[in-house]
Structure 1
Amino acid sequence: MPAVKPDLETADAVAKPILIRAGVALIFGLTTVFVQEPSTLWMKVAFALYLVFSGSAMWEYLRREPVPVAMRSPLSMAAAAWMLGTIVLLFLSAPQAIGLTVAAALAVGGVAELVAWFGHRRAFLPARDQLITGLAGLGSGVALALGSHLNPHGQLGIVGGGAIIIGTLLAVSGVGMALDVRKARNLEADRAPGRVD
């Protein structure tokens, strides 16, 4: 029983930022599906919001105590790449330049997540999610770089597909952790001395 406790503590600590990032990714991904004729300004703002809120969720994740110190360096690089991409977007207006900037931010972030996964997948269970999120980010970045000549809807669709993959994976992971913690707390409350049913 004592061996399970750290896992529950870790789940309790990281579930919220994981779910926040999942929500950001899913909201962005769904807007790319339902907005059929986005303008360049819409594309720019959507990309900027996706990057900045993903970066913010990652920073929040990194602040949690159970996250290994050595894992924070590559994931900080991912968050920094997304934040820097957001800043650069403020000065751009050409669709292709916007696409290439976002592609670079996503690709760097994806590689950084893969580095975090490779180094910590065995010692830190939540790091295993970084394999899929890293591949999705890197794949979206490469695909967007190749498709940066496309119109705003096409570019948003490329990144939106990756975002939906990321959001779905992290939602399943985060909800699973939250439910495990709730179940453990309920069980502990049921076993508490003096409880009267």
Structure 2
Amino acid sequence: MPAVTTPREEAAAVWKPVMFRAVVAAAFGALSVFWQQPSESVVAYAFGAYLVLTSKSVWDFAVARVVPAPVRGLLGGAAIAWSFCAVFMLIFATTTATSIAGGIGLAVAGVLELAVYLRHRRELVPVRDFLLTGSISMATGILLLAWRGLDHHGVFGVAGGGAIITAVFLLIAAFGYRHDARGEAAGR
């Protein structure tokens, strides 16, 4: 099977938002691994910040000039879900609020990302990334909602684990898009 190369215009339009999302996920994941004794409110604030920055990166992807309007609508819905849940987390800043809001936000956004993949993967190559990011987001959200006995460190670990997996995948994708954007421009 031949390698799929992202068209230059698509790659150039999306590599920066994908890279930003990857860096945000990597930073949140690293924070969840290396901060051994965070307080309950720190977990809520860090998780909330992660969701807000993730929604910003996905919105930046959605408004790229190569993205069709239906994709923009679905990704806008994901960004809204993350943002509303982050605000809820930041207001209440308890383990229960963080777990429930984070779980709902991740699960809803994951379903919307999967919908983007299922409906639009043939018309825009970078949309194929949403199969994995949507699956990870949805699975992480379901885990946060299902594990009622988690303390704040457990919530941090589950959310951070999903972020690490997402970060690794998106870093690879972003560097690939960057290469495709520059490679074709150089006349390959």
Amino acid paired to 1:9: E
State which structure, 1 or 2, has the greater radius of gyration over its C-alpha atoms.
Answer: 1
For the residues of structure 1 that align with 2:30 and 2:147, how far apart are their CA atoms?
A: 20
**Where does structure 2 lack aligned partners over 5 or more consecutive residues?**
none
1:113 corresponds in structure 2 to 113
**Where does structure 1 lack aligned partners over 5 or more consecutive residues?**
189-197
For the residues of structure 2 that align with 1:131 and 1:12, how far apart are their CA atoms?
A: 21
Per the alignment, do residues 39 and 125 of structure 1 end up closer, same or farther by CA in structure 2, a change over 3 Å counting?
Answer: same
2:36 alignment partner, SS class: coil
Whether 2:73 is the aligned partner of 1:69: answer: no
1:192 corresponds in structure 2 to none
Amino acid paired to 1:155: V
- The 4+ residue runs of structure 1 with deviation greater than 4 A are none
Residues 43-97 of structure 1, C-alpha deviations (whole Å, 9 max, x = no match): 0111111000000111111110101111111111100000101111122133112
For the residues of structure 2 that align with 1:142 and 1:29, how far apart are their CA atoms?
A: 18
Q: How far is the alpha carbon of 1:122 from its aligned partner?
A: 1.4
Amino acid paired to 1:15: W
CA contact (8 A) 2:23 2:167 kept: yes
Q: Equivalences for 1:67-106 in 2 at 5 Å? A: 67-106=67-106
Per the alignment, do residues 40 and 176 of structure 1 end up closer, same or farther by CA in structure 2, a change over 3 Å counting?
Answer: same
Pick 1 or 2: higher relative contact order, CA cutoff 8 A, min separation 6: 2
Q: What is the RMSD of the two structures over their aligned residues, measured on CA atoms?
A: 1.7
Q: How far is the alpha carbon of 1:150 from its aligned partner?
A: 1.2
Amino acid paired to 2:159: V
CA contact (8 A) 2:8 2:180 kept: yes
Length-normalised TM-score, structure 1: 0.89
2:59 corresponds in structure 1 to 59
After alignment, is 111-120 or 178-187 more displaced?
178-187
